[in-house]
Structure 1
Amino acid sequence: MSSMSDQNKDVNTHQHHHKHHHRHRRLKRFRNVIIGILVILAVGAAGYSAYAWHKLSETSKVIYKSAGAPKLRKASTVIDKTKPVSILLLGTDTGSLGRSYKGRTDTIIVMTINPKTKKTVMMSLPRDMEVNLPDYPNYSPAKINAAYVYGGTKETISTVQKYLNVPVDYYFMINMGGLKKAINKVGGVDVTSPLTFTYNGSSFKKGKTTHMNGNTALNFARMRHEDPQGDYGRQTRQRLVISALMKKSISYKTVLNSDFLMAISDEMQTDLTRSQMIKLAMSYRDAGKNVKSDHVQGSGQMIGGQSFEVVSATERIRASNELRANLDLKQVNY
């Protein structure tokens, strides 16, 4: 989720060597965010009252948006029959998710959930990963996060499906730009900083928990250059902010607060319907207890004057088959 004006600059090469347990913690936080959102929109509202159910219905209409991408299989029957499902998790930079939005999806994670084996696999794709865009050959090769710039969620889904040879049944997009409103509506969030720094007038100390309003939280999440992990560190702090918001927002009063629900819905889009979100929250949640966090590993290369993360054929096949295995699909060889 890049929220910086300089997001198109190359990521420092030392980021390729970040420790595995740091990556695992970041993906775990992001997984918890998604689960938390589903709980807010589904289990909480459906379980508390008819009023909350009504608000869930109205909110679902606001956040629902079909991607329009050709699917590799009939997605609607997957959840209906409680089969292994794949969801593309997208994190965007700041800005509106409206029709005129032309930002980039700098967090791209393919999540597969198997309710039978009770296992979830989360595969993170480098935002600078070199790909060919199926519907925009003249702009290829391109960085995968540019797919959204050219063709929105439709092109992003098409690109991921073709690159990994894995069906994308649904997508879920969350935006960092408007989280300020939601954070303020719940009275702020408590976040422990992983490092000491000052950004845009806000100061943070490593290991110290700070109560942040919306503006302070965004300052905490936006800093990049002073972080020894560069963009990876920035994404970690963004996950901390979202995770803190979700933890505080899952409550009886919050679920019944239509203003809060609408504030959150402004920052989300998905092609999951209300009933599908409820089915996911109720029938697939046990798979969240056994999560394998992974990523597609590339190597930095200059192509046409741009820095790309180039992934080997072997690594591509490995990532594809790991996801396919959790979907109970046959292994591929390309």
Structure 2
Amino acid sequence: MNRNKKHKHLGLKITLIIVALLIIGVGGVFGMMWHQTRSTFNKIYDTDGTAHNTAIKKKKPFSILLLGADTGADGRISRGNSDTIMVVTLNPNTKKTVIYSIARDTLAEMVGTKSLNVQKLNAAYNIGESKMAKASVSKLLNVPINYYAAINMGGLEKIVNAVGGVTVNASMDVTFDGITIPKGKHHLNGKQALAYSRMRYQDPRGDYGRQLRQQEVMMAVVKKLATPSGITKYGDMMESLEPYLRTDITLNDAVKLATNYRSNMDNVSSKQLKEKSATINGSSYQVPSTKILQHTSNELRQQLGLSKEKLDNQNTRLNALNEAFFNDENSQNYDTNGAVTQYYTNNTY
């Protein structure tokens, strides 16, 4: 449990590096590097058995589900809870990229199980891998999920080392796992960057401060990738990430990203799905209201060039039966067992 807690938010901003790798890096791959990159892509490419999406090929708006798995030490990608969950939408017409972070403990239906299964959203990747994770997030927000990319939390150290380290400007002393980064400007290797990105409890800003440090490390990596010398490191970067990364974006798609969506990296906005803490069957959850879910769905659908639709899923049904939970700001009691029974007694679904 302690190990998983350390990894919980590690990939909150770092997974955007995957998008940067695909958009910035592939455009500079030539000659021998192309063959090296193609070989690596063949290893990280992982389809869930569904038909390959053609949105990127057709230069359409599309979405990527970014997952940060909590299995960093043992190199596993195909199993583990996705403790980082983000929906990233890119629209080549508006040149906008929108990143929506979703809490790992969000109450959601596991889409694809034989019987109704409502639990924490991060379990979907563990139960049914990328196929269930994509379907569950899609159902929660009523938006199509075109692609996914999952990175194992052990990948950060490899990423930073592959680009030759990163320079940060620490606003305070940062100590974690026996490593101390003093206040001030420092060039960090992968292990140091990992510690710098993990520390939370000593930061008076708490998780917010940690997210800012993760963004700092991420942007330092992205800036290096965007330079001519950074392009030459792309092959090494992808090769070092191979044990930690899986995606259903092909190399040909990545090349299209480099040519058709490159300007999207200049207009990136980051948002969070606002939720309320709840206690369900003795466990801690995050529950988004129907109003918030509908607003998020509308925004993402607009970004994808789709019309608004009224949200109707297991979350909205349960929310309708838990009005007291939302009306009382101090309440944390959210009923799923009795509410589900009540709903299925009175309705056909």
Q: TM-score, normalised by structure 2?
A: 0.77
1:65 corresponds to:
46
Match of 1:220 among 196, 199, 208: 196
Relative to structure 1, is the Cα distance of residues 116 and 211 closer, same or farther in structure 2, using a 3 angstrom cutoff?
A: same
State the 1:124 CA deviation.
Answer: 1.4
1:44 corresponds to:
28
* Structure 2 residues not aligned, in runs of 5+: 312-349
* Structure 1 residues not aligned, in runs of 5+: 12-25
The amino acid across from 1:178 in the alignment is G
Secondary structure in 2 matching 1:316: helix
The amino acid across from 2:21 in the alignment is I
Whether 1:281 aligns to 2:280 is no
Aligned counterparts, 1:98-247, within 5 A: 98=76, 102-136=79-113, 140-206=117-183, 208-247=184-223
Relative to structure 1, is the Cα distance of residues 159 and 238 closer, same or farther in structure 2, using a 3 angstrom cutoff?
A: same
Report the aligned-residue RMSD: 2.9
Relative to structure 1, is the Cα distance of residues 199 and 148 closer, same or farther in structure 2, using a 3 angstrom cutoff?
A: same
**CA displacement 1:40-73 (0-9 Å, x = unmatched):** 541011xxx31121122112112211134x6xxx
The amino acid across from 1:55 in the alignment is Q
State the 1:81 CA deviation.
Answer: 1.8
1:22 corresponds to:
none
State the 1:8 CA deviation.
Answer: 9.3
1:269 corresponds to:
246
1:6 corresponds to:
5
The structure with higher relative contact order (CA 8 Å, sep 6+) is 1
Q: TM-score, normalised by structure 1?
A: 0.81
State the 1:255 CA deviation.
Answer: 4.2
The amino acid across from 1:6 in the alignment is K
Separation of aligned partners in 1, 2:102 and 2:147:
17
**CA displacement 1:128-182 (0-9 Å, x = unmatched):** 1111212347784321112122222222111101111110000122233133234
Relative to structure 1, is the Cα distance of residues 252 and 59 closer, same or farther in structure 2, using a 3 angstrom cutoff?
A: farther
Is the CA contact 1:183–1:189 (under 8 Å) kept in the aligned structure 2?
yes
2:73 corresponds to:
95
Larger Rg: 2
Separation of aligned partners in 2, 1:254 and 1:8:
27
Is the CA contact 2:165–2:187 (under 8 Å) kept in the aligned structure 1?
yes
Relative to structure 1, is the Cα distance of residues 7 and 162 closer, same or farther in structure 2, using a 3 angstrom cutoff?
A: farther
State the 1:111 CA deviation.
Answer: 1.4
Q: How many residues align?
A: 307
Is the CA contact 1:41–1:277 (under 8 Å) kept in the aligned structure 2?
no
Separation of aligned partners in 1, 2:283 and 2:209:
22
Is the CA contact 2:294–2:310 (under 8 Å) kept in the aligned structure 1?
yes
Relative to structure 1, is the Cα distance of residues 30 and 321 closer, same or farther in structure 2, using a 3 angstrom cutoff?
A: same
